[in-house]
Structure 1
Amino acid sequence: MRAVAVLGATTLLALAGGQAFAGVAPTDSPEKAATVVTYDASGAEEFTEAVDGGADVWNESVTGVQLEPAEAGEQANITIVADDGWPRAQTTSLGNGRIWMGRQAVEEGHDTLRIASHELGHILGLPDIKPGPCTSLMSGASAGTDCTNAYPDESEKASVEDNFGTASYFKSDADFKRIPLTVGRVHQD
């Protein structure tokens, strides 16, 4: 009988791929590493500091995703450039896209840190909320030029956490793929 039990346990171990399992119940909220989204601000010209500041704002505000500058030669998830138009973001999929830091809004008096944080919010899956109060980052320019709030409100933070919280459904980072959120959509603010 003992030989049967040992043989059965050995068979189960072999079927499990050689992995031993501890008798610990799963937790409701397992710790998950943040999804890292890289950005390339080399084309952001005079807005580079604002872009870095906007990334810092998001890194301080959420835990499910972290924005980091891309290493030299690395393909970034987000490309950020400066131009003379209005600020805008084009998402290709969640956490991927292009941002234009438009000078027109700055010339009208809008805060560059708020602009950068707002446009990064689009890449993180947030829509515009217009018109909206200054307390809502995604209210964008509708909050007026006096508004310098660069931080997402609780609802915006929760939405980003939800957007990136599903990464645990995938077996590994290599399996992490998303259906495009708003492919090709340009959020012009």
Structure 2
Amino acid sequence: MHVRILTGGLAVACLVSLSLTGGQASAAPRAAEAPLAARVLTYDASGSAEFRSAVDRGAAIWNGSVDAVELRPAAAGQRANIRVLADNGWPRALPTGLGNGTVYIGRQAVDQGYDTIRISAHELGHILGLPDRKPGPCSSLMSGSSAGTSCTNPYPNAAEKAAVEGNFGGALTGRAPALRAEVMVD
């Protein structure tokens, strides 16, 4: 048996319905439950310069790895949830809330030999609510630079996928996960 807590307008509508039927709840035919739609987050990579294809690939990796969220390029003139910029510093993410913020693809790490697609997927992971896991193995996307320049794995592991599913699955069901608002520098 599934128990659901109703909030807001739906709860009010159910209470009104019960009061109109004299408090007798009647079973309505149960429709098949549709799966929850992915939360769509848009990103603007127009400022990512030479890293544009790496950003698109990092977004595609997350799209292929999780169901609860989908990253899409923002349409022209659309305000994006995520801005992606290139600069000469170290890669970093500045989340402003779950699914929102700015990612910097820093040339300093690229010049040192770090993989651009791994950087992109890692920094997008911060926007999706994941913290750094340092030190860590190459199999952990969120191990970031601690895995070394030879690590080119851009894919989240099972725990990282599950954490993002939980973050956005929780958001879809009204349970907002905690997100620390801090700069994630890698």
What TM-score, normalized by structure 2, do the two folds share? 0.83
Corresponding letter in the other structure for 1:81: L
**SS of structure 1 residue aligned to 2:150:** coil
Q: What is aligned with 1:24?
A: 30
Q: CA 1:56/1:15 → structure 2, altered by over 3 Å: closer, same or farther?
A: farther
**SS of structure 1 residue aligned to 2:61:** helix
Identity %: 58
Q: What is aligned with 1:61?
A: 65
Q: CA 1:12/1:102 → structure 2, altered by over 3 Å: closer, same or farther?
A: closer
Residue 168, structure 1, aligned to residue 168, structure 2: no
- Cα deviation, 1:89-121, whole Å, max 9, x if unaligned, reads 010000000001000000000000000000000
Q: CA 1:147/1:24 → structure 2, altered by over 3 Å: closer, same or farther?
A: same
Structure 1 portions without partners, runs of 5+: 1-10, 171-176
Corresponding letter in the other structure for 1:188: V
Q: What is aligned with 1:120?
A: 124
Q: What is aligned with 1:188?
A: 185
- Cα deviation, 1:56-112, whole Å, max 9, x if unaligned, reads 000000000000000000110000100000000010000000001000000000000
- Cα deviation, 1:161-182, whole Å, max 9, x if unaligned, reads 0000023324xxxxxx957722
Q: What is aligned with 1:143?
A: 147
Structure-1 separation of matches of 2:169 and 2:123? 21
What TM-score, normalized by structure 1, do the two folds share? 0.81
Matches within 5 A, 1:27-106: 31-106=35-110
Q: CA 1:157/1:115 → structure 2, altered by over 3 Å: closer, same or farther?
A: same
Structure number, greater radius of gyration: 1
Structure-1 separation of matches of 2:42 and 2:27? 35
Q: CA 1:168/1:15 → structure 2, altered by over 3 Å: closer, same or farther?
A: farther
Corresponding letter in the other structure for 1:186: V
User: What is the root-mean-square deviation in Å for CA atoms of aligned residues?
Assistant: 2.4
Structure 2 portions without partners, runs of 5+: 1-15
